[in-house]
Structure 1
Amino acid sequence: MAARGHGRGRPRVGEQAARREAALDAALGELLERGVAGLTMQGVATRAGSSKESLYAWFGNRQGLLAALIERQAEQVNAAVATAIERPADPRVTLTAIARNLLTLLVGDVSVVLNRAAMTSPELAESVLRHGRHTTGPMVAAFLERLADEGLLSIGPAEEAFQLLYGLIVRDLQIRVLLGEPAPGEAQIRDDAETAVERFLTLTR
């Protein structure tokens, strides 16, 4: 007897994951176009070619959908930072790559709209901190501590060193963009990252 095909049965795990990712892409598109107030489960379902029932099954509710977007965005950034740290390179090159990643994230359209969403909800704000600052910070702090152990930096507590680096990178730029100022372009981000790292190394060598 010939083996049966899958027919109209339940989608495979990989298909489910792809549909969920497509729903997140659709949600991000809706969020960028309509803002937090204009984001609806029906709008996302229509844009994704899915159903509201599927969205509720995957994310629970609109709040869960936003939390999933925040987590996905943070995972992408943390992966980029981890790659920069793990790749053998001169510390200046690695720190500059980290600085560019952070700046590009923090002033980008996606980050701005998600941070504005987080400002409306303590739960979303906690998610931004947990998956963002409280994950990225220790990663970079551990790298700075490693550089110090190798005699390449002279720092006190690694977390304080990260706060110094972060302050030199971000300054007041993120808050200005959140308040409506135009975000800097790629060339300006590159220059700002290089300047921040140069100042940090001057202070820690």
Structure 2
Amino acid sequence: MPPTPRGRPAGAELSLRRERFLDDCEALLLAEGPAGLTVAAITRAAGASRTTLYAWFGGREGVLAALVERNADRTAALVTDALARGSGVPETLRGFARGLLAMLTGPLSVALNRAAMAEADGALAATVLAGGRHRVGPLVEAYLADQDAAGALSVPDPAGAFRALYGLVVADTQVRVLLGEPAPGPDELAALADAGVARFLTLASPRG
């Protein structure tokens, strides 16, 4: 394999540098909010040039989209893990619900959602939906369909069942946090998630 030309980092190194750049942008977003994520602030926080920023992301909007996509990857991995643990249905759904609610009310998700709501063209909001609800939904729907086939749940419409589960677990908690209320603590989040799952199971348990 020919050596990498001097001054041009190899693929693995470039990927690592890009991740570190996003780490710095994420820290800036959490510290200053969406309004503080300006091009000047990004380059200063990351110790990078405007040329690098525009070459990698195309500008501030591309940085935000990359942060959304990275957070979506983390969330999808957590959901996949929660659904694949092989526990009983109630325990599996409680694990999923607790993780979902903690993620939705966490500082990064709140900051990214606020940034999406502030964008006039709706492009970032579409990225949030594609990486969030529209990516996680099919994972949970497939799990619910499997449990219906196994007789553990009665959910002939898995997509509708997921919407019901999501609504019962999340309720108005995320909206209230987005509007400025303090996020519930871990114990309260767990209680809210467990209560939502319990209500869902009342609706979805097979009738004897």
Judge same fold: TM > 0.5, yes or no.
Answer: yes
Amino acid at match of 2:45: R
Aligned to 1:44: 42
Task: State percent identity of aligned pairs.
Answer: 48
TM-score normalized by the length of structure 1: 0.93
1:60 is displaced (CA, Å) by 0.8
In the TM superposition, 1:15-164 aligns within 5 A as: 15-121=13-119, 122-164=122-164
1:54 is displaced (CA, Å) by 1.2
Question: Which segment is superposed worse, 26-35 or 114-123?
Answer: 26-35
4+ long deviations beyond 4 Å: 4-8
Task: Work out whether residues 148 and 156 of structure 2, in 8 Å CA contact, stay in contact via their aligned partners in 1.
Answer: no
TM-score normalized by the length of structure 2: 0.92
1:48 is displaced (CA, Å) by 1.8
Q: Show structure 2 runs of 5+ residues with no match.
A: none
| Separation of aligned partners in 2, 1:149 and 1:86 | 16
Task: Work out whether residues 38 and 60 of structure 2, in 8 Å CA contact, stay in contact via their aligned partners in 1.
Answer: yes
1:49 is displaced (CA, Å) by 2.2
| Separation of aligned partners in 2, 1:5 and 1:144 | 51
1:55-87 CA-partner distances (Å, limit 9, x unpaired): 111111111110000111111001100111122
| Separation of aligned partners in 1, 2:82 and 2:28 | 31
What is the aligned-residue RMSD (CA, Å)?
1.6
1:108 is displaced (CA, Å) by 0.7
Taking a change above 3 Å as real, the CA distance of residues 156 and 6 of structure 1, as seen in their structure-2 partners, is closer
1:123-154 CA-partner distances (Å, limit 9, x unpaired): 00000001110010111011111100000011
Aligned to 2:194: 194
Task: Work out whether residues 169 and 193 of structure 1, in 8 Å CA contact, stay in contact via their aligned partners in 2.
Answer: yes
